[in-house]
Amino acid sequence: MGIRTIRLPDVGEGVTEAEVTEILVKPGDLVREDDPIAAVMTDKATVEITSAYSGKVIWIGGEVGKTLAIGSDLIRIEDESAGGDDDGAPSLAPAEAQPAPASTSSTAAQTESCPLKASPSLKVVETRPSALTSTATPPRAEGVAVLASPAVRARAKEAGIDLRQVAGSGPAGRITHTDLDHLFQNAGQAQPRNPPRPETVETVKVVGLRRMIAKRMSEANATIPHITVVEEVDVTEIEAVRIKLNETRGDKPKLTILPLIAAALVKAKESCPKIFARYDDEAEEVHYSTAVHIGIATMTEAGLMVPVVRNAQALSPYQLAGEIARLSDACREGKAKREELSGSTITITSLGPLGAIATTPIINKPEVAILGVNRMAVRPSWNGSAFVPRTMMNISASFDHRIIDGWDAAVFVQRMKTLLETPALIFMKD
């Protein structure tokens, strides 16, 4: 018999702390060696922590949402085979463990164990239907004490009754338990057939990925002076090209507009290199890479993630399509690796067919630009002699105004418009 401590292992290079997103065991549970016991999340990925011992869980050091330092005690296990207490050991190195799916329970309402009152997380905070106060006297003036014993006051509070509205039948107008009983009975009779459903308020703790998103969005919005340029693009030609390519793709991945826009971005870098940068505002340095790493904003069940297509300049549209599909699947299944979630030099965000006519994208810090792609629609267009139907799409590009001047922003947006309207230019070698 001995007590074994499982500490939070080093979950990746340079990470000093990780947030607990799931605790999979509770005190009293029996666990076997290699059983998953918790999941933690760094700013890059979720990692499953497994038990290094078999035995009974006797103590848990973290709770969902809590950030623990690497090496801090996570769980203690009573190990039946051990001779004595140990001084703690890390669990299996996570390098061997696959990143776990992002916890879905982290978005569930959290309840605290609370012997003071076993309160469910859904608290009814309604005030009762007014039928309850049908026997009420006019409300007592502000400051006039309500006459009721502590037990009656507590019962009324529990039921959401404002005792100032209740007539007391006791001596000196004291409100008694009997008065409350009558109130409930009368309320029962007087209630309309379909009483309004009581309002319930669900409290959801912001943890894990959602907390990370919230933190990053706040940071980006608070520190970056955004300038957003919206432009209309005629995508009739590029759509025709896309359809044509899909017809003859064989077993290559299906092309959406996204890989073609990514290809256009790569081409735009030749004339607008300033837009493809990472700005370290603390060091006041801007880093320009020769490579183009494109972040693709991806919606997952747990929230927004941005996987990165690395070295997009070296990929064909089909390869871009394949890589985008692979990365978004990995994100949705929670299998994206840390290195696949960082390092982008520019990001594309698209709401696809849901998208509106314009958006104001928030920059994926530390980048200096983000390209928002809006919904396509066939609109009448004047070609100089007649109205013709054209497939139109707006692009909304936001820029970090500290680094990018309005002029450069406009030049880039126009370049993107030119490339998308004349797709042959994308594939021209200068």
Partner 1 sequence: MTDLSCKVLVLGAGPGGYVCAIRAGQAGLDTIIVEKAAPGGTCLNVGCIPSKALIHAAEQFHAVAEAATGHSPLGIATASPKIALSKTMGWKDGIVRQLTGGVGGLLRKAGVRKIDGEARILDGKTIELKTAEGLSRISCEHLVIATGSAPIEVPSLPFGGDILSSTEALSLQQVPETLAIVGGGYIGLEIGTAYAKLGAKVTIVEARAQILPQYDAELSKPVLTRLKALGVEVHLNAQAEGYEGGVLRAKTADGELKIAAKKVLVTVGRRPVVAECGAADLGLDMQGRYIKINGKCQTSMRGVYAIGDVTGEPMLAHRAMAQGEIAAAVIAGEAVDWDKRAIPAVCFTDPEIVVVGQLPEEARTVNAEAAVATYPLRANGRAMTLERTDGFVRIVHEKSDGLVLGIQAVGAGVSEFAGEFALALEMCATLTDIAATIHAHPTLGETVQEAALAGLGRGLHA
Binding site for partner 1 (CB under 8 A): 112-117, 119, 123, 125, 145, 147-150, 153, 157, 170-174
**Which runs of consecutive H residues, i.e. helices, occur in 175-235?**
177-190, 208-223
Greatest Cα-to-Cα distance within the chain, rounded to the nearest angstrom: 98
Report, in Å, the least distance between residue 187 CB and partner 1: 20
For residues 150 and 384, which CB has a smaller minimum distance to partner 1 in the complex? 150
For residues 166 and 305, which CB has a smaller minimum distance to partner 1 in the complex? 166
Question: β-strand 73-79 against 46-50: which pairing, if any?
Answer: unpaired
CA atoms within 13 Å, Cβ hemisphere of 421: 15
- And the tokens for 203? 């409290």
If one counts every other C-beta atom within 10 angstroms of the C-beta of residue 11, the result is 24
Angle between helices 177-190 and 150-159 (to 10 degrees): 20
C-alpha Rg value of the chain to the nearest Å? 30
Task: Report the distance separating Cα 168 and Cα 179, nearest Å.
Answer: 6
Task: Report the distance separating Cα 363 and Cα 371, nearest Å.
Answer: 9
Q: Is 400 a catalytic residue?
A: no
For residues 14 and 150, which CB has a smaller minimum distance to partner 1 in the complex? 150
Q: Is 405 a catalytic residue?
A: yes
Task: Report the distance separating Cα 175 and Cα 114, nearest Å.
Answer: 31
Asked if 302 contacts 207 with a C-beta cutoff of 8 angstroms, the reply is no
Which one from 181, 280, 329, 405 is the annotated catalytic residue? 405
Asked if 97 contacts 126 with a C-beta cutoff of 8 angstroms, the reply is no
Report, in Å, the least distance between residue 51 CB and partner 1: 23
Report, in Å, the least distance between residue 407 CB and partner 1: 43
Residue labelled with tokens 């605290």: 112
For residues 198 and 380, which CB has a smaller minimum distance to partner 1 in the complex? 198
If one counts every other C-beta atom within 10 angstroms of the C-beta of residue 286, the result is 16
Task: Report the distance separating Cα 411 and Cα 285, nearest Å.
Answer: 23
Start-to-end CA span in the chain (Å): 74
Asked if 261 contacts 347 with a C-beta cutoff of 8 angstroms, the reply is no
Report, in Å, the least distance between residue 162 CB and partner 1: 12
For residues 201 and 377, which CB has a smaller minimum distance to partner 1 in the complex? 201
Task: Report the distance separating Cα 239 and Cα 234, nearest Å.
Answer: 10
- Positive or negative, the CA dihedral 210, 212, 218, 224 is negative
Report, in Å, the least distance between residue 164 CB and partner 1: 12
Asked if 265 contacts 292 with a C-beta cutoff of 8 angstroms, the reply is yes
Catalytic residues: 401, 405
